Structure 1
Amino acid sequence: MSRSSFFFTSESVSEGHPDKVADRISDTVVDLFLSRDPYARVACETLTTTNLVVLAGEIRGEGVMNTSGAWAPGIEAEIEAAVRAAVKDIGYEQSGFHWEKFEFINRLHGQSADIAVGVDAAGNKDEGAGDQGIMFGYASNETPELMPATLQYSHNILKKLAEVRHAGDKRLEPDAKSQVTILYEDGKPVRATSIVLSTQHAPGLSSADVADIVKPYILEVLPEGFTDENTVWHINPTGIFEIGGPDGDAGVTGRKIIVDTYGGAAPHGGGAFSGKDPTKVDRSAAYACRYLAKNVVAAGLADRCTIQISYAIGVAKPQSIHVDLHGTGKIPEAVLEDKILDFIGGATPRAIREHLGLNKPIYARTTAYGHFGREPDAEGGFSWEKTDLVDQLKALA
């Protein structure tokens, strides 16, 4: 039996964290290529360190790179310009990492023919999964976003501070991390017992100065009464934090997968999202699992829902589905396991892409403050956060 009263903690990292800089660059490349070819194949990894950005991985697409591995005219310069613009947008104009001055190395190459033959549709063969693996989706009714409260509030803190920084507060710099610990009673979040924030800052500020700046903004994004005199605060607990971002620590694509998903409140299959086109089920099927789990909770069929789907590389049909309603279900899990994939065309890679409209340049916006718990936008971003299956799911009850 699961415990009903406990403490739980999740962390988030800002858009200027070195790993998130790498994620942003990788998905900027994905967006660029999808804008040229909606069916481009992209697996782009990024390394960032002191005044250096390196791209590696495999690609294919019309207007990008042909099957012989030759770049389309002008695309290499366009890639570099897009990468520099992304870093500029984050806000890095520091001596150790400057959007205009870092060395740029592009080592992207053509997609492996062995992978392509398994993924491509041909004859009677449907498009196969871009890799084997297990993908999870989760939803909980503990926040309006149907996300774990610990992670949602951690994201909200850093998103607010980024808004303040972009609005012109030069005392705050791009690199930051947050962490929220919450006491749950009867399975519901009741108060924050600990809040940790480390943020890069302008020279000359003390930890007390930084605390005075950020604490009002943190309180603004937390529910009223969620902190009290017993809440423990740690603001820049190591003291000075002037050297940050890729200059302070190397960044690599895909190292913040728990931040990207559910903050440890749900399982993770292990695959990263950023840098991958939607044929890669690490990304698209994880989005589909979240979509289904969120709709189950939004339909009132459970307070919490975890969904797992598995795939074999090159095979279209999922190998398995597992639904866990954590003892809160109003419907047997077996009913959902039998029916729910039908709502998204059987959850083949092609069906997921088409149902959620994933062949669009919508991915750079996902790389900070979570891939989930976001609002669907007019350009098709965060389509997996829609709750348009609610009526169909209610009909199963």
Structure 2
Amino acid sequence: MMYVLPGVWIALVLVVAVVAPDGVSPLPALAVAPAIACVGSGQRQCVLVSGVIALVALVAGLVGQGVREVQERLGTGVAVLAVVALCFWMAGRRAVLAAELERTREIAVAAQRVLLRPLPPRVNGYAVAGEYLSASLGARVGGDLYEVLATPYGLRAVLGDVRGHGLAAIDSVAALLGSFREAAHDEPELTGVLSRLDRSLHRHLRQRSCAEHPAVADTESQNPVAEEFVTLLLVQLGDDGKLETVNCGHPQPFVTGPYATGERPRPLAVGEPLPPLGLLDDGDRAAPAHRGVLLPGQALVLYTDGLQDARNASGTFFPLPEAVAAAAATARIGGALAAAPFARALSAAALRHTGGRPADDMALLVLLRDVARVPLRNRSAALSGTPRR
């Protein structure tokens, strides 16, 4: 549509010139055509074509005209050429800036993908899917974080929420993800991973506070940046479905799928949550993980509070349990629950609820055990929520 606007404008000017009374000439308005092409398409070819058409329209009407009309048309032609030259330069400059913006966007996307890497579709026999909605327009990461790794101890996953949201929280996200990717392979117990993450967060916040306030570099900072915290959920899944969780002030995950209370999702029993990361003491770091079993066909749904606290324009909260049930009912392939469609359906429902503009970062993970079903006698052991001793 934008490509034909200069031609439409030229045709309109010529029609007005035919019906206009004597002494009224709209022909100078032909000089606007190249400007319309520049604004509409931003391409040099369109600017040149519109300028040529405008000049042809001027020259075609010279036959039989008086000296005054000829001079007027020549003056209009000079104006058209001047506008063409200016718009030609502006279109070229616009193309250069657009190319630089595209390269910058590609670099930003690559950097964000390094920070929040695309999840593998399968890890240790589990189907994995994740969705992320940033509160910062145009950003792909923010204050929420997730990662799923295959380790010598089974599948290990983390889902966390740094205080604050958007681009301001990315440095804390980077520090925690880097620490988790190393500790998940080194520490035999989830509590060891938790201790490593907590130390990493404290070290990161001290360094950041000292960098922002070098005058207190030799003392314990009292700046609020050193008081940040992170809600966090650590998950470990063995090949046989054995489940361990450590919850640091994070919303309880849901379990959905076969044998999960009549196909309806329910919160996973994880016991009393620990304080958020950054506020733990020695006793909290040594607290035992909680254990359960994830049965074949069941999915574990982890999410941040940006999802459960999402509101629409009228202030109504996002109905998360109902949305999980609806997504699980529709995200099926061959009658079996599918992780990626499930995560996409739940994310799309949250986005529709907020009108496409979430007020907080939202992240969710789906960990689906879609291997052969276990015998009936093992079903009663599912998701006991009892702490490991």
Higher helix fraction (1 or 2) = 2
TM-score range, shorter chain: under 0.3
Give me the TM-score of the superposition, normalised by structure 1: 0.25
Higher relative contact order (CA 8 A, sep 6+): 1
Give me the TM-score of the superposition, normalised by structure 2: 0.25
Structure 1 or 2, whichever has the larger Rg, is 2
